[in-house]
């Protein structure tokens, strides 16, 4: 008789977002079909004794093979980016299909879809970056993209080439509310940053450390507050991405308690780096420049607290890989000013090991919170929980076997991205994903990649299911009813 499973993962400690248990996992046709103690032998048995068996990570904020607002191309394409993700225990990514002004959304989507189809080794969806929400985009192209499974879009409140004004943001929010999509907001006050930067440059302050001065925490908090106000005005949820500062964490927590439908994400760079890391000789600090910038020890603690108490429901990498040369960070070599450096840091491969080591192993978060922050909440927020984000019968067999005792000293040379440096060089981490499975296929085993180029699949996402932190009583706003803005119902939190 044929074995009932293609693969059995035997004897591991399984963690979901809610519980921890000692059990075997049976996989057939790429799907988890049994979780039980002592399953029968399969065609392949994987010994997970002494290992954590965790859902594969979902990284819902990554820039891959993307042209930035400043016109710089990412260092990672869909091959190196997904290989690097897989080696770090991530089995699904949601990169951006980035619209630049004057470009038609269907063309943008088709272009990114073709490139990812040819190269990705793990599964992926797409968000849209929306730089030009004109009438055709709002009435035809965005609704069609949502029907095609692109149920979230990112908008920017800063960057000359991408910035939307408040009127446009309201248009996008209203559309998202009608169609059941999620708006992700890069919240920084453009004019504050521009005004400070101009004065710094006039005084000859060009070094990377001045990037953190120009992108003041008040610019982040002001824009975040405005984004929340716009969302409340039309009663449509927003997700603030890459929250960096202590004040913004506090703002989000207060807004959630008052009933605002605001969700928030943070990233490794806000837990493990500070603005001091930008203060290096010459242009070396450019390796740490991202927007918003890493801030201070108080903000790091606030981000940890926000991840722990659910204020920040998502932990993503914001992998924005730029090489330390003219193609990315240094268009004018040593003469490059902080205004000219590509913004962004790499992190797709180290996102999970950093949080596992410094969060779970140090007792800051539980293993179940780790799962929620790195996988389950992303699936819920981005309409993937029908197939991904947890370990349960019926879901894709996307998982990683973590050796909690493996000690690793981080170096750029051990990573699989195409960046050439890491902001986390020399850090000692404890815990590492040693076997990674995507839809039942072992894609990484030890230091071997077993997945073929192009074997990842596009996942059409559903509408978000916002089931993150509990909110209070929503403030009454009569405006949505008066303007006929009511959209799809969002579940009570
Ligand atoms: O500095 C960053 N985060 N660059 C990537 C683009 C973005 O805003 O997420
Ligand atoms: Zn951003
Ligand atoms: Zn980003």
pLDDT confidence of residue 478: 61
Q: Is 344 in the pocket of ligand 1 (CB under 6 A)?
A: yes
Model confidence at 470, pLDDT cuts 50, 70, 90, reads: very low
pLDDT confidence of residue 3: 74
Condensed to tens digits (0 to 9), the pLDDT of residues 15-64 reads 999 999 999 999 999 999 999 999 999 999 999 999 999 999 999 999 99
In the CATH scheme, what is the code of domain 56-378?
Answer: 3.20.20.140
pLDDT confidence of residue 464: 85
pLDDT confidence of residue 279: 98
- What percentage of the chain carries pLDDT values higher than 70? 94
User: Residue 132 has which token pair?
Assistant: 């030009």
Sign of the CA dihedral with 477 first, then 481, 482, and 485 last: positive
Question: 344: closest CA among 269, 248, 246?
Answer: 269
Neighbours of ion ligand 2 (CB under 5 A): 186
Condensed to tens digits (0 to 9), the pLDDT of residues 429-450 reads 999 999 999 999 999 999 999 9
Other Cβ atoms closer than 10 A to 483 = 11
Neighbour-count burial of 227, counting CB atoms closer than 10 A to its CB (0-12 exposed, 13-18 middle, 19+ buried)? buried
| Atom 2 (ligand 1) nearest CA | 344
pLDDT confidence of residue 477: 63
CA of 100 to the centre of ligand 2 (A): 15
pLDDT confidence of residue 474: 52
The mean pLDDT value for 227-241 works out to 96
Q: Domain residue spans in the chain?
A: 56-378
Q: Is 74 in the pocket of ligand 1 (CB under 6 A)?
A: no
pLDDT confidence of residue 326: 97
pLDDT confidence of residue 485: 66
Condensed to tens digits (0 to 9), the pLDDT of residues 174-220 reads 999 999 999 999 999 999 999 999 999 999 999 999 999 999 999 99
pLDDT confidence of residue 479: 66
Query: Which atom of ligand 1 is the closest one to the Cα of 291?
Result: 1
Condensed to tens digits (0 to 9), the pLDDT of residues 269-322 reads 999 999 999 999 999 999 999 999 999 999 999 999 999 999 999 999 999 999
Condensed to tens digits (0 to 9), the pLDDT of residues 395-423 reads 999 999 999 999 999 999 999 999 999 99
The model's pTM: 0.96
Question: 94: closest CA among 468, 459, 465, 462?
Answer: 459
Measured at the CA of 137, the angle between CA 134 and CA 142, to 5 degrees, comes to 145
CA-CA distance, 367 to 359, in Å (whole number)? 9
Q: Is 291 in the pocket of ligand 1 (CB under 6 A)?
A: yes
pLDDT confidence of residue 340: 98
Other Cβ atoms closer than 10 A to 53 = 27
The mean pLDDT value for 454-460 works out to 98
The mean pLDDT value for 337-347 works out to 98
Model confidence at 471, pLDDT cuts 50, 70, 90, reads: very low
Please confirm whether the linkage preceding 197 is cis (ω < 30° from 0): no
| Atom 5 (ligand 1) nearest CA | 344
Q: Is 318 in the pocket of ligand 1 (CB under 6 A)?
A: yes
CA-CA distance, 223 to 241, in Å (whole number)? 12
CA-CA distance, 238 to 475, in Å (whole number)? 15
Model confidence at 465, pLDDT cuts 50, 70, 90, reads: confident
DSSP per-residue letters across 237-293: -EEE-S---HHHHHHHHHHHHTT--EEEEE-HHHHH--GGGG--STTGGGGG--SSP
> 266-291: b or e for each residue (b if 16 or more CB lie within 10 Å)?
bbbbbbbbbbebbeeeebbbbbbbbb
pLDDT confidence of residue 2: 67
User: Residue 204 has which token pair?
Assistant: 């000859």
CA-CA distance, 259 to 102, in Å (whole number)? 37
Measured at the CA of 452, the angle between CA 450 and CA 455, to 5 degrees, comes to 120
- What percentage of the chain carries pLDDT values higher than 90? 92
Condensed to tens digits (0 to 9), the pLDDT of residues 355-385 reads 999 999 999 999 999 999 999 999 999 999 9
Residue spans of beta strands (DSSP E) within 44-181: 44-47, 52-55, 57-62, 90-98, 123-124, 127-129, 152-156
The mean pLDDT value for 120-139 works out to 98
pLDDT confidence of residue 487: 59
Mean pLDDT of the chain: 95
| Atom 9 (ligand 1) nearest CA | 318
């Amino acid at each position: 008789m044929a074995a009932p499973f293609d693969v059995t993962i035997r004897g591991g400690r399984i963690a979901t977002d809610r519980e921890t248990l000692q059990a075997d996992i049976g996989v057939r046709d790429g799907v988890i079909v049994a979780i039980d103690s002592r399953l029968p032998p399969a065609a392949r048995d994987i010994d997970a004794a002494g290992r954590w068996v965790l859902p594969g990570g979902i990284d819902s904020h990554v820039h891959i093979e993307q042209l930035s607002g400043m016109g710089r191309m990412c260092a990672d394409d869909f091959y190196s980016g997904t290989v690097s993700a897989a080696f770090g225990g991530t089995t699904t990514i949601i990169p951006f299909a980035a619209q630049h002004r004057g470009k038609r959304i269907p063309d943008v989507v088709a272009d990114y879809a073709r490139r990812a189809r040819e190269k990705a080794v793990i599964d992926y969806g797409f968000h849209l970056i929306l730089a030009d929400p004109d009438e055709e985009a709002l009435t035809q192209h965005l609704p069609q993209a949502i029907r095609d499974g692109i149920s979230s879009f990112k908008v920017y409140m800063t960057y000359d080439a991408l910035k939307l004004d408040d009127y446009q943001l309201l248009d996008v929010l209203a559309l998202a509310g009608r169609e059941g999509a999620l708006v992700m907001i890069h919240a920084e006050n453009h004019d504050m940053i521009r005004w400070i930067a101009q004065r710094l440059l006039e005084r000859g302050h060009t070094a990377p450390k001045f990037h953190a001065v120009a992108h003041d925490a008040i610019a982040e908090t002001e824009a975040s507050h405005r984004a929340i106000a716009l969302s409340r005005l039309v009663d449509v949820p927003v997700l603030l991405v890459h929250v960096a500062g202590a004040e913004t964490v506090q703002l989000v927590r207060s807004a959630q308690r008052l009933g605002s439908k605001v969700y928030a994400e943070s990233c490794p760079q806000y837990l493990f780096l500070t603005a001091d890391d930008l203060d290096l000789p010459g242009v070396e600090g450019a390796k740490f420049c991202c927007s918003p910038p890493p801030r201070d020890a108080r903000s790091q603690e606030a981000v940890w607290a926000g991840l722990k108490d659910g204020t920040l429901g998502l932990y993503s990498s914001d992998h924005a890989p730029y090489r330390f040369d003219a193609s990315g960070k240094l268009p004018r070599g040593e003469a490059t000013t902080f205004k000219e450096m590509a913004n962004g840091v790499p992190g797709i491969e180290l996102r999970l090991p950093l949080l596992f080591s410094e969060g779970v192993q140090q007792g800051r978060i539980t293993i179940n919170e780790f799962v929620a922050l790195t996988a389950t909440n992303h699936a819920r927020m981005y309409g993937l929980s029908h197939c991904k984000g947890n370990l349960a019968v019926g879901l894709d067999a996307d998982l990683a076997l973590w050796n909690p005792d493996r000690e690793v000293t981080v170096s750029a040379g051990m990573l699989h991205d195409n960046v050439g440096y890491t902001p986390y060089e020399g850090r000692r981490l404890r815990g590492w994903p040693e076997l990674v499975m995507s839809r039942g296929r072992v894609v990484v085993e030890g230091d071997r990649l077993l997945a073929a180029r192009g074997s990842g699949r596009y996942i059409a996402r559903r509408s978000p299911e916002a089931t993150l932190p509990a909110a209070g009583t929503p403030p009454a706003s009569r405006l949505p009813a008066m303007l006929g803005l009511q959209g799809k119902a969002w579940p009570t939190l």
